[in-house]
Amino acid sequence: MGSQMRYLKKYLRKIIGITVIGGKLFHSLFALIGVIFTIYVGWKNFNLSDLTRLQNYEIGNKNISLTENKIKNEEFQENLKNLSSDNLLIRIGAISILENIARNYPLEYYWPTVHVFTSYIRHHCDKRLVAKACHGDDIQEVIGFLSEGEHDIPHKMSDKVDLSNVMLSNIDFSSGKLRFSNFQGVILNEINFSGTNLSNANFKEAIIYNSWFSNSDLHNVNFSNASIKNVNFFASNLEYAQFSGVSFKFEKDFPFMQFLESNVKHVSFCTGYDLKTNRLIHKCASGLVCHSLRSLKLYDTVELPSYLLKCGYKIEPDPFRAEIRKAFNEYHTSGNPKNLYDLLANSGPAGRLIYYHRGRE
């Protein structure tokens, strides 16, 4: 009996000990769950607060952006109105502000500003409306901006500098970027185009005198039916340029300097292209003399007026012609057109190949 009581007491002590230990474990576990829950609630509240702040920040940014756009648009519109002011200083100030808007927000305002400025020049300098050529500070300021030529900004095919039929004098376009610009029908006196990229520009029916195109890129420029007097093309790139029907006039001793060190490869003095009718123009330039091209390296791809054939120029075969012939032979032999395609892609305007071996009448 005594031994049974001792066993029972020992068993009860074990149960009580486990219960105590279990109570401590349960209490610890409950406390741990409470801590985790507290941390989770705090993190959740923090995230909600952070998300709210972020949303408020984005809304604030949108509101700021809308406000900035509104202010910017109002500023743009206000200065458009100032362009019509009779006060020259107000107009120049408006031009400067519009330039800054276009530079700071090019995607929205660059090409609209270009169109506004070209319209401004045509309005003030249209040869059909004004008695004398334009050369004011406002015109030079506008030309300076247009000459910057940010052509990489996305634009439509119709987006280009159009200065057709304007009359300008003493204006500096030097070192500008004016590819594909339209100068058709302009009257230009003492204009500096030195170092300017004018490739594929249109000077058809222009009147140009006492001006400089030295060191300019005039690749594929159309001068058809233009009148050119005392114009310097020194060291310019005239490859594929068209001088059909051009009337050249020079002062004494000027012809020798006119094309000195220029690249006249593939230049045509007798064939041009009319963009409106999409037809070739066959009319040789007049007024050239032997000294005009005396110092140049002439290839048989240059189309000369017949009256210059008596000058005894040394005319060499164009090496490009030999490359084309080789590429054609490879194509017919191997069927591989790669070299031919590469040459045609780099042969000038739209792959156009024109070869001349004698002058035109």
Domain 109-319 indexed as CATH 2.160.20.80: yes
Left (φ > 0), alpha (ψ -120 to 50) or beta: where does 245 sit?
left
Q: What is the pLDDT of residues 241-298, one digit of tens each?
A: 999 999 999 876 665 678 889 999 889 999 876 666 777 778 999 999 888 888 888 8
In the chain, where the domains are located: 109-319
Computed on alpha carbons and rounded to an integer, the radius of gyration of the chain in Å comes to 39
Q: Indicate the pTM of the whole model.
A: 0.73
Q: What is the pLDDT of residue 360?
A: 45
The pLDDT tens digits for 293-348 are 888 888 888 999 999 989 988 888 877 766 766 666 666 666 666 565 565 555 54
Query: In this structure, are residues 212 and 192 in contact, taking their beta carbons and an 8 Å threshold?
Result: yes
pLDDT tens for each residue of 73-88: 889 999 999 999 999 9
The residue whose two tokens read 């001793």 is: 253
53 CB neighbour count, 10 Å cutoff: 10
Residue 285: CB atoms within 10 A of its CB come to 27
CA gap 131, 112 in Å, rounded: 29
